Amino acid sequence: MESNMGSSPRPEDKKRAARRRTMIEWGVILGVFAILYATGLHTPVIGTLQRGLLTTGLLKPSIPEADEVFPAASPEFYFADEEGRVRSLAEYEGQVIFMNIWATWCPPCIAEMPSLHRLYQGFKEDPQFTFLFVSMDEDFGKAQEFMANRNFDLPVVHYRTKARGTYESTVIPTTYVISPDLRLVLEKRGLAKYDTDEMREFLRLLAERGQ
């Protein structure tokens, strides 16, 4: 007794079916991204995915050697504090300055913020250190709201202007560490994990040398 198995799909039919399946898959992916962008959820979602990368321990800033010669850091970087007063880095000479440039619309900025918050907790009561989280948001209220909603007590300020030729990174986030004698000892462009023993030791060493 013979069974009627039917004819096998032709190769061109298989290719067409595969193309249709691929188009459907991409349609679903693009549809999800469209919804995320339309609802404003793309930044936290992408930020969450990038935060997962930080748990690998691979994205850490390079700590410079102690005997390196560091360039001068211009004090002509201006920002407004939460009361609207315009201030500059010159006011913090004699302290270790940890300055992070960020924005609420920047997924990698959002991803690294918990790490920065944990680092800050170990230094916020020490007068030898100043932490500045410089928001590039046009509406400073969004930056303040972001911090409040996530229970971050980070000192957020609003970017104003800077001297030409200094702090020229076009990438955010960018983090700068400036020594008490206003030397630029670290510049990290892009996402990184900062709450490490190496970073804590590095910052404390800078403070000791500045005494």
Q: What is the pLDDT of residues 95-106, one digit of tens each?
A: 999 999 999 999
pLDDT given for residue 2 in this prediction: 43
pLDDT given for residue 64 in this prediction: 84
53/115 Cα distance (integer angstroms): 12
pLDDT given for residue 39 in this prediction: 56
pLDDT given for residue 90 in this prediction: 95
Cβ 108 vs Cβ 101: under 8 Å: no
- Looking at per-residue pLDDT, the higher value among 96 and 165 belongs to 96
What is the domain partition of the chain in residue ranges?
77-209
pLDDT given for residue 34 in this prediction: 52
pLDDT given for residue 163 in this prediction: 78
pLDDT given for residue 14 in this prediction: 52
Span 17-66, pLDDT tens digits: 656 765 765 555 445 445 545 555 445 555 455 555 555 555 677 888 76
143/17 Cα distance (integer angstroms): 48
pLDDT given for residue 35 in this prediction: 53
| Residue of 166, 162, 188, 165 lying closest to 175 (CA atoms) | 188
**Does residue 122 register a pLDDT over 70?**
yes
**Cα torsion angle, 140, 122, 198, 50, sign:** negative
3/5 Cα distance (integer angstroms): 6
Question: What is the pTM (predicted TM-score) of this model?
Answer: 0.74
What is the dotted CATH code of the domain comprising 77-209? 3.40.30.10
What are the start-end ranges of the E strands in 103-183? 129-135, 156-162, 174-178
Span 191-201, pLDDT tens digits: 889 999 999 99
pLDDT given for residue 97 in this prediction: 98
pLDDT given for residue 62 in this prediction: 80
Lowest-confidence segment of 12-16, 90-94, 137-141, 171-175 by average pLDDT? 12-16
Strand partners, 96: 129
Q: If you average pLDDT over residues 136-157, what whole number do you get?
A: 96
**Does residue 8 register a pLDDT over 60?**
no
Q: What secondary structure, in 3-state letters, does the chain show?
A: CCCCCCCCCCHHHHHHHHHHHHHHHHHHHHHHHHHHHHHCCHHHHHHHHHHHHHCCCCCCCCCCCCCCCCCECCCCEEEECCCCCEEEHHHHCCCEEEEEEECCCCHHHHHHHHHHHHHHHCCCCCCCEEEEEEECCCCHHHHHHHHHHCCCCCCEEEEEEECCCCCCCCCCCEEEEECCCCEEEEEEECCCCCCCHHHHHHHHHHHHHCC
pLDDT given for residue 191 in this prediction: 87
- Is 76 in a helix, a strand, or coil? coil
Span 62-86, pLDDT tens digits: 888 766 778 999 999 999 999 999 9
